[in-house]
Amino acid sequence: MQTDSDEQMIQEAYQALVDGYLNSNHRKKVEIIDRAFQFAKAAHAGVRRRSGEPYIMHPIAVATIVSQEIGLGSTSIAAALLHDVVEDTEFTVEDIEQHFGPKIAQLVDGLTKISGGIFGDKASVQAENFRKLLLTMSEDIRVVLIKMADRLHNMRTLGSMAPNKRYKIAGETLYIYAPLAHRLGLFPIKTELEDLSFKYEHPDIYKQISDKIKESQARRSEVYGDFSLPIKQKLDELGIKYEAKARLKSVYSIYNKMETKHLPFEEVYDLYAMRIVFECDDINKEKAMCWSIYSAITDLYQLHPTRTRDWIATPKANGYQALHLTVMGPDGNWIEVQIRSRRMDEIAEKGFAAHWKYKIGDGDEESELNAWLKTIKDILDNPEPSAIDFLNTLKLNLFASEIVVFTPKGELITLPAGATVLDLAFHLHSEIGIHCIAGKVNHKLMPLQTELKSGDQVEVLTSKTQMPLPEWENFLNTAKGRTRLRKSLRAMRQPVIVKGNEILEEWFASHGIEESNRVITKMLGVFHVANRDELCYQLGADEIVLGDFLIKPLKHVVDGKKQSSGILSKIPLIGRIVTSSSPETLSGELQQPEPVNTKQIYTLHTDAHGPNYIISSCCNPIPGDDVLGFVNDDGKVEIHSVDCPRAQVLKAGYGSRIVATEWAGVTDLFTAHVRIEGIDRRGILQEITQLISSLMGINIRKLFIEAEKEVFHADLWIEVNDKDVVRDLCDRTKKIQGVTRATRIL
């Protein structure tokens, strides 16, 4: 039942949308927007979101983001208002076309096809949905831009979701949507998606960093004022019309820097950058103005010699243009200055949507996008058999920086940073890649794995007798290269896999064993292979043989299946993660754990039978860490740190098997890695070990120490009960004379 207050809230939100649109540069087509609003409002009447507000508030919010934060026009706004109508009500795409025409109907149809987030509950569905999302780009990129707005609003309202759903949605957002926003040039949206994902995965750390940012606000403002005043005076003297502002680093990027550099918040000095946006009506004069502002700044401050970035002469593949320089500020710290024209700033803020507004000549602004979409299509046409491999391959392409190399004829080729000679060969053509033997880089003969740098001139050398090898994958750093290599290897392996499949089926038939997921999983564990194709390949290549030693354990699995249909039988084999099995599951009985309800919080504890969880070796979390659970193929709960790289993949690809967890009653000891650094002096190691072993009673399992001149580095692996013990140890160690840093390494 809709109340008067609901109606007032809806009308105020809609009016704010219309007012924002009327203030834009788009042609004023309010009538189509109003009709779409009335249609969607009637279609969603009486329905509420999980947060309790009327459902129509979500389409209005998405349309507002589409209009005011991405900068799209009336067609996209109308499609955003209607984006859930076909999915959630009885109306069809044909109804939309009848009322609003083919363009809006096409956008709504595209959004409906990729509804429910990128990922479903099964691995094969995840990959297929993501393929659909990317294929719509080549038809009309506005579908993806509207979808990005939809995800942004869902993230802004994620607090009303259940904990396991929050992990799943935050995980896939950080893993796929944020890189996609980055690739489309939607930098503010990318930053907000990262921050919101981080906020829901690490609420305590997010609050700590946010509080410290607020506490240091006055000091930052003072430093920025001292730094920016001379620059503003200089630009005023030159008669340049400009806007100058401080751009604060996001909470997520500050956290990343703290983690990767092992720094406390107080030592992250580049918390902000200065951004100068100048007015220029003539696009041909922008470059000269950028360099004149650069010259004015370097007259005032000392330039960092290696941190100038010219994104004007060679824009990023997502269209980003700017001139970046780093100079020494008055407080002795390095400060980055970003110089952009108003046009460049709009493109940086609103991505390809702003490109259309500034489209000139033959449409060069869209050529980079089309080239990137062509690469994406290349991956879609040759998909990985595993959903996780497919997503990982795309991730390579989504979040890559670019380099520019030249062919011997002077043709310019843009490649992701880290690309090798072999990557370039596959970029040119699959046939060139599979027959590549070496490269001439700047006229010198270099091997396949040579990493290329911007400005290199590269000639690819081939031989008809050369054939691709599996180890080549280690030489490739681009999505296109890996996709094309894997396709070639699959084509070569296929006849062997077919032969191995025949051997496997004949063996099953001759021993009266029925093939099933459980049986195949058992065999994968016995032979230590990742999937069925690899098993068949090794059989076909005579690398392994099937013997009588398998009959008893496999028949036991078949008999066990008749008694219990465990979690293994419900998970599709294609795209599955095969986790390491304990010895008893390889040779003895399969232990069937209690089924896990992923909708409830799973309590981690130790009882007479031991822990009810498995600690993952990839991140080794300890009690007190922010962790989540993953229900593995044996139905057991694996514990990962929330931001463990492996966990990112699991959240993105296997969301339905993620469970929210809490520590309670855990009595085990856990291994933690601590790094200590400082000024070397006689007896300092004895003081450190005495504090840890004698005074704190902590067992040191391993110790590595190295001193170079006056500085020492020590790595210790200690046994602790929880995170607080490690924090206390680090705090007390830092009080020892000469110790400058003590931190846990994750």
Among all residues, which ones are annotated catalytic?
Answer: 87-88
> What is the rounded CA–CA span in Å between residue 600 and residue 417?
43
- Structure tokens, 420: 């090798």
The helix/strand/coil state of 99 is: helix
Q: Give SS3 for 43.
A: helix
* Backbone region of residue 21 per phi and psi (left: phi > 0; alpha: psi in -120 to 50; beta: other values): alpha
Question: Residue 640 is inside which H or E element, if any?
Answer: strand 637-641
DSSP for 512-538, please give it. Answer: T----HHHHHHHHHHHT-SSHHHHHHH
Joined together, the tokens standing for residue 435 give 């027959």
Pair 738, 699: CB distance under 8 Å: no
Task: Please answer whether residues 614 and 637 qualify as being in contact, where contact means their C-beta atoms are separated by less than 8 angstroms.
Answer: yes
What is the C-alpha separation between 372 and 182, in angstroms, rounded?
13
Q: Which is nearest to 372 in space by CA: 439, 306, 427?
A: 427
* Nearest-angstrom CA–CA distance, 152 and 158: 10
The separation between CA 549 and the C-alpha centre of its own chain, rounded to angstroms, equals: 44
DSSP 487-517: HHHHHHHHHHHHHHHHHHHHHHHHTT----H
Other C-beta atoms closer than 10 Å to the C-beta of 662 total: 12
Classify 194 as helix, strand or coil: helix
CA distances from 484 to 111, 422, 430, 470, 481 (A): 30, 11, 6, 12, 5
Question: Can you tell me the distance from the alpha carbon of 303 to that of 311, in angstroms, rounded to the nearest whole number?
Answer: 18
Q: How many other C-beta atoms can be found within 10 angstroms of the C-beta atom of residue 608?
A: 4
What is the side-by-side order of every strand in the sheet holding 436-441?
444-446, 436-441, 458-462
Counting DSSP H helices and E strands in the chain, the numbers are: 30, 21
Instruction: Tell me how far apart the alpha carbons of residues 620 and 640 are, in angstroms, rounded to a whole number.
Output: 7
Ranges of H-type helices in 566-660: 583-587, 645-653
Among 156, 119, 163, 152, smallest CA distance to 642 is for 163
Alpha-carbon gap, residue 706 to 425, rounded angstroms: 43
- Kindly write down the DSSP assignment for every residue of 380-411, as one continuous string: HHS--SSHHHHHHHHHHHHS--EEEEE-TT--
Tell me the C-alpha to C-alpha distance, in Å, between residue 257 and each of 203, 261, 654.
18, 6, 28
Burial tier of 472 (Cβ tally within 10 Å: 0-12, 13-18, 19+): buried
Parallel, antiparallel, or unpaired for β 739-745 and 699-708? unpaired
Spatial separation of the C-alpha atoms in residues 365 and 141, rounded to whole Å? 14
Q: How many angstroms separate the Cα of 64 from the Cα of each of 39, 71, 142, 149, 347?
A: 17, 10, 15, 9, 19
